Chain A
Amino acid sequence: MKPFLAVLTRDMKLATRIGGDSLTVLLFYIMTGAIMPFAIGPDKDQLAQLGPAIIWISALLSLLLALDRLFRMDHEDGSLLAMRQASLPLEMIVVAKICAHWVTTALPLIVATPVLAILLNLEIDQTLRVIFTLLVGTPALICFGAIGAAVTVSIKRGGLIAPILILPLSIPTLIFGVSAVSSGAIANAQDAALLFLAGFTLLSLVFTPFAAALALKMAAE
């Protein structure tokens, strides 16, 4: 447990220090959401209707920003190689890094969501529901992102390739994330969407450590 916590706390420190991504991701999220009303226009009802989708897309795009750094820095400066000599298997190191990444990038977004919700004229209960779906769905986004980041880790300037790999994988999460909030649908459909969303997250949490660790091992060869 101690080695796991060591990786977790180290990555959290790195993300919050200078050069870390936490604040950048958070600001990008709020800005992406905030410019939408300028493009869509000041129609309050329309904004409220599109609100959950805008929040989800903003979250998806801003999470993509930081994902490339999940393994790249450690791969390039030799840390990852040395970390592989720990008694902790590489798969668990990946889990620790994903947890730290979620806490330092996705969690601040979720906390800042009420700000966006006000800008987008969302009702309180809808805001809470968006926050809840983000809590359930963002781990899946980070997991898919981790696979993309691990696959592209050995490509110099692979920063633009990873999002192209990750975005198609994120579509189901996006669909169920938004439809778990969107009004208009039948109530049961929303709950079903939420369950699907949770299912995707659980599935991705199970497979990602193995897939990402395998990709990292192949990248080191």
Chain B
Amino acid sequence: MISHYLQRNGISTTTISLIREHTEYTRQPRALWVPFPLGRPFGVADDPDFQRDVLHSALRLLETATEPTIEDYPHDAPDGGGDGVWSCSIQLPEPEVSDLEAALRSEVDLLTPWYEEARRRRGRTTVGISGAKPEEIDKVVSFIVAIAEGSGFKEIPASAQGPNWNHTFPMLVRFVVEDLRAFYQEAVTSQEGTKPPSQHDMHSWIFEKTALGQAIIQIGHQIAADDEQRLKMIRGLIIPEGFWKGGVSWGETPSGEERLSFIIRSRAYLAGEDA
């Protein structure tokens, strides 16, 4: 829709399309549909030639298209999407269910040198969206353990005071989980010379092999036990569909209500404006 609004205000646009059905619906002026996984509009990391070709192909539509156009990019991503060929070569201990905090801290300790190495080599980290600094990852762990063990969805756990948390409940839970997940992902993708994992590989590893996955699932159970129907959406934002065994991760839409209207009705609650 933004392309329509920009054009109505005098700016030419061209767009990458990931969901062709959405682009067919919105009929944007110029769109290059690309056959890449969601989250990867320019194809693949660390392949400048490929990224540049995708970008240039989308930009060329500014010269070649004379009416609303969806062009199909002819090449798959060089890794083919990458599913199912990756295994983590960092040996983590078998997660110890009886002591979630000890298990999580042990994993974080093992992953820290890999995380630091990746951060130095790339010159960046994406950890920090919750407001915790990357060096406050121990407080991120404390937060997740407390929520997983039932401290509720309204107040910062006493054990996690310190960081300048910059979201409100309940969405804060989603971003704290994302920060620890990013820490894990950046650490295990630091290994050079191995085929990088896809997001599905990553989810499978986290939920099947790590204490982090167990902690997230435990948060999912705390959400399931809560009476607030709108809170279920937070589970859908931390556990991808297919990895929550208790039904639809996102939660059921109340009967008689359209999914979209339920989301719109829940927006203020999720943003922390309607406790």
State whether these chains interact: no
